[in-house]
Structure 1
Amino acid sequence: MTDTLSRYCHAPLPIATAWPAAIPAGAIDDSCFVSQHGSRLFLAARTEQNDHMNEAIQIEQMPAVVRALRFIMIVQLAFSLFGAAIMIPVIIVAFSDPILFVPSLQVVVVVALMGWLVARWSSRRKWVRWCALAFEVVAVGSRLIFAAVDREFGWATLVHPATLLPLAIVVGLLTSAAARWFDR
């Protein structure tokens, strides 16, 4: 899709679905443009020989549910980065034993995986949806299991953001809007 248009458009063309929903109608540069017809956006390229559209590709807007899920994952990522920034230096300084450093690697792996999923969200690949779903199911499950093992399971555990945010993502990724968005 973008390979064909890149022959004609001199502007850098990211994946069309990664573009923000509010692309203003008008010129991107002299060789390509975006036009809006109702709620649908179209990317078109002009050839140098004439000023006609020789190719038009519809750009779907991300459904509101999927945008909300991406925002929730970004919030989770921000909390994880904050936690990693606090935890890793404390573990390194307080415990210089390498065996105690290994649990802090889990924090780094979780942050890296979550960042990678957020970065790939706009690709609309099916595996991104299923990986995010599995990641969040493990997050909810581990939170509930650790609370039960520590005998701290109660209403406070169920309404805690560490339980509600992943649960909201799991439910949202199982909707038909998410299934339609992640169709490649």
Structure 2
Amino acid sequence: MTATVRTEPMPFVVRAARFVMTLQVAFGMVGLAFLGAAALSILALGPLLLVAWEAAILGLTGWLMSRFGTRATWVHRAVVGVEALVVAEYAVLRLTDSGGLDPVRLLVANALGPLPVIVLLLLPPSWRWFSQRKRTDAAS
């Protein structure tokens, strides 16, 4: 006999974070296609490494987004860590590229996507939802 799984629905903050991550992955794939075409046209090592890095981060973000349903705490921590890494990466690239860190320049899509995800996932409803495991009726 199959056991039924009784779970509470995903809270709004987690659904909103997953939606923003979906937008990040979708627009990231478009940007990666343009960046990849530009990097392949000049065949330089630096841009190709940047494309590989962006593809790895994009793949990791998509994979973690698909793991939301497991409600595992490591997924919660990993998503917050990866999104913080994306913001830090963008800040470092801005520092090395222009020599200064203007706060207004940080408010672009590269920082506006991950920051709300970090804030939404640090709210108490998302902590509660990720800390509770799925239970079957036989276990309750």
**Cα offset, 1:145, TM superposition:** 2.6
Structure (1 or 2) with the greater helix fraction: 2
Aligned residue number for residue 38 of structure 2: 90
Aligned-residue sequence identity (percent) comes to: 27
* Separation (CA, whole Å) in 2 of partners of 1:98 and 1:123: 38
Give TM-score, length-normalised by structure 1: 0.63
Contact 1:172–1:178 (8 Å) recurs in 2: yes
Alignment of 1:179 with 2:130, yes or no, is no
Aligned to 2:90: 143
Distance in 2, matches of 1:98 and 1:143, equals 19
Give the Cα–Cα distance (whole angstroms) in 2 for the partners of residues 74 and 173 of structure 1.
15
In the alignment, does 2:21 pair up with 1:69? no
Q: Which amino acid aligns with 2:74?
A: W
- Output one character per residue of 1:45-101: Cα deviation in whole Å (capped at 9) or x when no partner: xxxxxxxxxx65423110000000000101111111011111112222331x56753
Relative to the length of structure 2, the TM-score reads: 0.81
Instruction: Classify the secondary structure of the residue corresponding to 2:9.
Output: coil
Distance 1:175 1:142, change over 3 A: same
Superposed counterparts of 1:105-184, under 5 Å: 105-149=52-96, 150-183=98-131, 184=133
**RCO higher in 1 or 2 (8 Å CA, sep ≥ 6)?**
2
Unpaired runs of at least 5, structure 2: 134-140
Aligned residues: 131
Structure with higher strand content = 1
Q: Which one has a bigger Cα radius of gyration?
A: 1
Give the SS at the match of 1:182.
Answer: helix
Runs ≥4 in structure 1, deviation > 6 angstroms? none
Task: Report whether the alignment pairs 1:58 with 2:9.
Answer: no
